[in-house]
Amino acid sequence: MEAARARLEAYDREIQMFDVQSVKSEQVSLNTASQPPAPHPPNTVMLSAPTGVAQLAQAVQDSIAMNRLPMPEPTVFSGEPIQFIEWKASFMSLVDQRGISAADKLYYLKKYVSGPARKCLEGTFFRNDEAAYQDVWKKLNQRYGQAFVIQRAFREKLSSWPKIQSKDAEGLRSFADFSHACLLAMPHVKGLEILNDCEENQKLTQKLPDWAAARWNRQVTKALMEGKDFPSFQDFAEFLMQEAEVACNPVTSIHALRSSEVRSDKGNLKDFKRNKASVFNTNVVHSDQHTSTRGHMGSLCMLCQNTHQLHKCPALMKRSLESRRTYVKE
């Protein structure tokens, strides 16, 4: 509200200055109307007025565009230590620094916390003072904000990562993305420097497919033969990102080529099934026609050639039983 009020006062001053300049320019034009024209320098007042109007219109346009954007809000924290730092930063910038009361801060904090994190705060939301707000953050920082807790969560997720299969390009990309996230969190999370150790790198290499592990082994061996130190976790993360991009290339990678072959095979199979079904349908129609013809022919009596079956023929019934048996056998 203070920013809007200051902006409005600035607009009012711009408009007043523009009105004063317009009046002065009109007076100057009236005074000089009766005098003969003479060469004179450009009027700075007349040049500055359109500039002020353009700046005012641009400011109003920017303000309207800002009001049309959706209101930013923090994410919901469910008790994952890896997400705590990012969630806390967003909540502080969007809610805590807005200058609202402690009761309103507690309301928003209750809204954007769920799961195990919500359970550890039960009983705190019965109060609505500043002390209760500080107690909430003290509990959250103690349980989820400690550097040891966060780095342990990162390491546990890395250690529990399943082994990536040789043809799982998407799985390799997911592992590379998380490794890059660990690399970005290193300067902010104390204890993640342990990932630079060679023993930890060996555990991570076991998660890779055989072909990727062989390439990383070649790169590590080359560095050691040149007298360098064991590659750091940054080198490992960059290696994973490069190999993931190669494996997931949408045009020339093995994954893309295999997907195109599978699609073409499915298309050929569908065409084959469609043609086979058409031939089978034709045969069925022909068989039905033949059956209907036979049924129509079988409805004529063989004795009198009338439209009834033989066992209902009156002429046959007039014969004796022996004669009928002899006729049927013949």
Domain ranges of the chain: 2-29+43-68, 81-145, 154-247, 254-279, 297-330
> Does residue 234 surpass a pLDDT of 70?
yes
Q: What is the Cα–Cα distance from 151 to 281, expressed in whole angstroms?
A: 66
> Does residue 311 surpass a pLDDT of 70?
yes
Q: Write down the pLDDT at residue 288.
A: 46
> Does residue 271 surpass a pLDDT of 70?
no
Q: Write down the pLDDT at residue 273.
A: 58
Tokens of 286: 């022909």
Q: What is the Cα–Cα distance from 77 to 72, expressed in whole angstroms?
A: 16
* One-letter amino acid for residue 13 of the chain: R
φ, ψ of residue 253 in degrees (nearest 5): -75, 160
Q: Write down the pLDDT at residue 291.
A: 43
CA–CA distances in Å: residue 203 to residues 198, 207, 330: 9, 7, 91
SS3 77: strand
> Does residue 41 surpass a pLDDT of 60?
no
Helices 210-225, 198-205: inter-axial angle, 10-degree rounding: 150
φ, ψ of residue 216 in degrees (nearest 5): -65, -35
**How much is the mean pLDDT over the chain?**
79
Q: Write down the pLDDT at residue 198.
A: 92
Q: Quick one: pLDDT band at residue 322, thresholds 50, 70, 90?
A: confident
Once rounded to an integer, what is the mean pLDDT over residues 203-212? 93
- Residue pair 123/100 in contact by the 8 Å Cβ criterion: no
> Does residue 166 surpass a pLDDT of 90?
no
Q: What is the Cα–Cα distance from 92 to 277, expressed in whole angstroms?
A: 66
φ, ψ of residue 129 in degrees (nearest 5): -105, 180
**pTM (global) more than 0.75:** no
Element (H, E) at 286: helix 254-298
Element (H, E) at 49: helix 44-68
Q: Write down the pLDDT at residue 294.
A: 45
Question: Higher pLDDT residue, 159 or 302?
Answer: 159
**Residue 94 neighbours by CB under 8 Å, 6+ apart:** 72, 73, 74
φ, ψ of residue 77 in degrees (nearest 5): -90, 125
* One-letter amino acid for residue 316 of the chain: L
User: Up-side HSE of residue 92: CA atoms within 13 Å toward CB?
Assistant: 8
Q: What is the Cα–Cα distance from 176 to 314, expressed in whole angstroms?
A: 92
Percent pLDDT > 90 in the chain is: 23
- Residue pair 330/322 in contact by the 8 Å Cβ criterion: no
* One-letter amino acid for residue 173 of the chain: R
* One-letter amino acid for residue 85 of the chain: I
Q: Write down the pLDDT at residue 279.
A: 47
> Does residue 67 surpass a pLDDT of 90?
no
- Residue pair 59/9 in contact by the 8 Å Cβ criterion: no
> Does residue 293 surpass a pLDDT of 80?
no
> Does residue 35 surpass a pLDDT of 60?
no
Q: Write down the pLDDT at residue 191.
A: 84
Q: Write down the pLDDT at residue 268.
A: 58
Rounded to 5 degrees, what angle do the CA atoms 177, 179, 181 make? 70
- Scanning the structure block, which residue is given the tokens 């939301």? 125
- Residue pair 182/233 in contact by the 8 Å Cβ criterion: yes
